[in-house]
Amino acid sequence: MWNLYYLLSFVFGLVTGSFLNACLWRTRENLSIVRGRSICPHCRHQLAWFDNIPLFSFFILLRGKCRYCRAPISWQYPLVELATGLLFLLVAGRYQGNDIFITPEMVRDWLIICFLIFIFVYDLKHQEILDHATLFPAIIFYLFFISMRWESWDNLLLAAVVGGGFFFVQYFISQGKWIGGGDIRLGIFMGVLLGWPKIVLALALAYVVGALASVFL
């Protein structure tokens, strides 16, 4: 039974990752994410359903190329699908042993993963952090966490102020040369997700990891 539980969690993550890829491209192209069939970003030909099977279509059916124009498909698509699937699987493993298969905590963590992957990939490709990927979910999660009594309202508010304020000070001192406004909104989002004092540890770890990565870059 648990093997099926893990398999379904992984597959659900793959499908969600495919949807995130669509959201990333359609957001950039100013297209609706709920209307219209999937199309090739190169030739704009409408794709068949079997061209959208996570991982399988890219590696087996299409071999990394569009069926119609033969243009190469970005590796972003299978990587995002795989990453989402594995992260969903890790969350499922974390809550394994509960009396019910899907808990509110699992749904919370899966949603957090979706927003963070969207923010990461969109920022990596376009050097931009969107308002509706940070401020809007920050408000929703803030209200959700309070209603579920996972955190107190003042704890989350303090963490959001610290997270956003940390980046705002850098933005103000450098007049926007060091970081952008999106980092301030991301700091607020981080504060809501982590609470106090975890936001302080997260910011410290982020800068240490960033410094180590910059050595190789």
Q: In 3D, which of 135, 138, 118 has the Cα closest to residue 26? A: 118
> 50 vs 9, 61, 182, CA distance in Å?
21, 8, 37
> 203 vs 68, 150, 190, 207, CA distance in Å?
46, 22, 9, 6
Phi, psi at residue 98, to the nearest 5°? -70, 160
Average pLDDT for the chain: 92
Neighbours of 66 (CB within 10 A): 17
Query: pLDDT tens per residue, the chain (217 residues)?
Result: 668 889 999 999 999 999 999 999 999 999 888 888 888 889 989 888 899 999 999 999 999 999 999 999 999 999 999 999 999 999 999 887 666 678 889 999 999 999 999 999 999 999 999 988 999 999 999 999 999 999 999 999 999 999 999 999 999 999 989 888 999 999 999 999 999 999 999 999 998 998 999 998 8
Q: Tally the residues of the chain.
A: 217
pLDDT tens readout for residues 44-79: 898 888 999 999 999 999 999 999 999 999 999 999
- Helix 181-194, helix 153-174: angle, nearest 10: 160
